[in-house]
A and B are shown apart, each in its own frame.
Chain A
Amino acid sequence: MSWNRNHLLDIQSLTAEEIVTVLDTARAFKAVGERAIKKVPALRGKTVVNLFVEPSTRTRISFELAAQRLTADVINFSAEASSLKKGETLKDTARNLEALNADIIVMRHSASGAPHFLARFLRASVVNAGDGAHEHPTQALLDTFTVREKKGKIAGLNVTILGDILYSRVARSNIWALTKLGARVTLCGPATLVPKVFEQMGCRVTYNVEEAIEGADIINLLRIQHERQRKTMFPSIGEYTSLFGLTKARLARTKPEALIMHPGPINRGVEIDSEIADSARSVILDQVTNGLAVRMAVLFLINGGKGPQEVAA
């Protein structure tokens, strides 16, 4: 057992042992979700604030449900309807939330490092729910949880991440988690979105999709994030699909036991053929279920991690 952190800010600073602790804890919480009463009193009396400065539906709902299943009180705070629109700084917003005795602040922000900034001055625990193109730690944890659950291990597996890597916090967090746990990671996509510099993170980079998915145990597809791209990074969606989309013809050349993952939302017919998304090879909906368990585990561990300091004080 190793967890003594007040915050979950990124995967980069976690040890392999800490990642495994989250995955093991999530296994216990997944079982809770399968019961008639899907709720435990672990965070009774605690207040969790979802501070989503960048819009999100699925991650926010997942965190909200995770907190509720731990019996925490949850406040949802979105940028559109908040004082951030009136010119309040992020720091002041966070301080106000803390003044309401928030115990855990789950934050999504379009600026990389925003949760790290909050964590420096808040007493409350901070969980990064995605910061710019930097990291999305709970997504990587739920992805590795799903891989381990389906394949029984992570070390030694070939994982291919296909799509928009450059602007993807999901890709960065996954690369950190997978390499720390001993998987071999291959990145593939348009050259403009998969710079060679990623080889420095210990990945193989290729621009040939057939080569990338041949021999893969896991193929993780990423959505093209038009909202994050400053300019057009490839000629057309049609060309992207024909060069990098996961079609039935391409899937036929992969290992029969290779699994298809996608963090959602999926664009059917763009990065993934619609039939593949619904096939037995796809674990996309398992990822959603596991995301809830992983987020419960993170909230549980973060809260507990506050202990020693409090006792010492």
Chain B
Amino acid sequence: MPRATVILNAAAIERALTRIAHEIAERNENSAEVALVGIHRGGVFLARRLAGVLSGIWSQTVPVGSMDIGMHRDDLDRQPAPTLQPTVIPFDVTGKTVILVDDVLFSGRTTRAALDAIMDLGRPKRIQLAVLIDRGHRELPIKADFVGKNVPTAAEERICVRFREEGGSDEVTLERNGGA
């Protein structure tokens, strides 16, 4: 019995990113203000790809940063310490429209941590949120501005996102833990 269902294949991920990039361009007229910040790990790959598409649309490079939100998590004393990657934001966020990029939006707690982490770096003009998958089950009042695909899930299911940057090919699957 198959336990993993493919939700997005490589071509569908590419199309979703292209659409999100155009939505970002449509929503943000002042392209010079826009900067992307990917959340480790998957968000970083997605942010770089989105920046590539946006650079084509706007004919100018779009700054990209990467952020590890491990230090801002709200569950640090409930589990072993997470692996931390350096946060690299090679631009001043103050006055920018920062677009946070993540692969999966679930409880919203990662986004909450990322919002706090960004605020520690400066005062952005605004922050928007782009995600490849919104799987529901929010625990905080957080909503994405740009969504690749809405996927209704059960809480115990898992969304797995694989990237060609990590070897292999792009794919999003829905997996059922311990079922059947």
Contacts and interface: CB of A to CB of B under 8 A. Distances in A.
Given A24-B83, A25-B83, A36 B122 contact: yes
B160 interface: no
A41 B77 contact: no
B87 A28 contact: yes
A310 B78 CA distance: 7
A37 B117 CA distance: 10
B134 interface: no
Interface in A93-116: none
Contact of B80 (A24, A42, A43, A305): A305
A197 interface: no
Contact of A307 (B70, B78, B86): B78
A40 B120 contact: yes
Contacts of A306: 77
Contacts of A303: 76-77, 81
Interface size class of A (residues with CB under 8 A): 20 to 34
A311 B88 CA distance: 33
Interface residues of B, number: 23
Contact of A28 (B70, B73, B80, B116): B70
Q: Most B CB atoms within 10 A — which of A29, A301, A307? A: A307
A311 B71 contact: no
Contacts of A35: 120-121
Interface in B62-86: 68, 70-73, 76-86
A307 B77 contact: yes
A3 B71 contact: no
A145 B84 CA distance: 15
A81 B96 CA distance: 51
B120 A300 contact: no
B78 A28 contact: no
B72 A304 contact: no
A4 interface: yes
Nearest to A103: B77
B88 A31 contact: yes
A21 B81 CA distance: 11
B89 to A, nearest CB: 9
Interface string A149-180: 00000000000000000000000000000000
Contacts of B86: 27-28, 30-31
A308 interface: yes
Contacts, number: 78
Contacts of A311: 78-79
Given A307-B79, A310-B78, A25 B84 contact: yes
Q: Most B CB atoms within 10 A — which of A41, A297, A305? A: A41
A312 to B, nearest CB: 11
B179 to A, nearest CB: 24
Contact of A1 (B71, B83, B117): B83
A148 to B, nearest CB: 14
Contacts of A31: 86-88
Interface string B97-114: 000000000000000000
B71 A42 contact: yes
A62 to B, nearest CB: 19
Interface in A250-306: 297, 300-301, 303-306
B168 to A, nearest CB: 21
A41 B72 contact: yes
A32 interface: yes
B71 A308 contact: no
9 contacts: A28-B84, A35-B120, A37-B120, A70-B71, A297-B84, A303-B77, A304-B79, A305-B80, A306-B77
Closest 10 CB pairs of A and B: A304-B81, A28-B84, A40-B71, A1-B83, A307-B79, A42-B71, A301-B81, A37-B120, A31-B86, A28-B86
Given A25-B84, A28-B70, A304-B80, 7 more contacts: A3-B81, A28-B85, A29-B71, A36-B121, A41-B71, A304-B77, A308-B80
